[in-house]
Amino acid sequence: MKSCLKIAIVLLIFCSNAAAQVSIGQWRDHLPFSEAIGVAASETKIYCATPLAIFYLDREDNSLNRITKVQGLSDIDISYIAYHEGQKLLFVGYVNGNIDLITDNNEILNFADIKRSSITASKSINEVIFVDDMAYLSCGYGISIFDLKKREFAD
Q: What is the pLDDT of residues 52-63, one digit of tens each?
A: 889 899 999 999
How many CB atoms within 10 Å of residue 8? 10
pLDDT for the residue numbered 82: 97
φ and ψ at 141, to 5 degrees?
A: -90, -15
How many CB atoms within 10 Å of residue 130? 18
pLDDT for the residue numbered 17: 47
Element containing residue 127 per DSSP (H, E):
strand 125-131
Angstrom distance (rounded) from CA 58 to CA 47 = 9
pLDDT for the residue numbered 20: 55
pTM for this structure? 0.79
pLDDT for the residue numbered 55: 87
Angstrom distance (rounded) from CA 114 to CA 52 = 19
pLDDT for the residue numbered 18: 46
Grouped pLDDT means (10 residues each) for the chain, 155 residues: 55 49 64 80 93 90 89 92 96 96 93 93 95 95 95 88
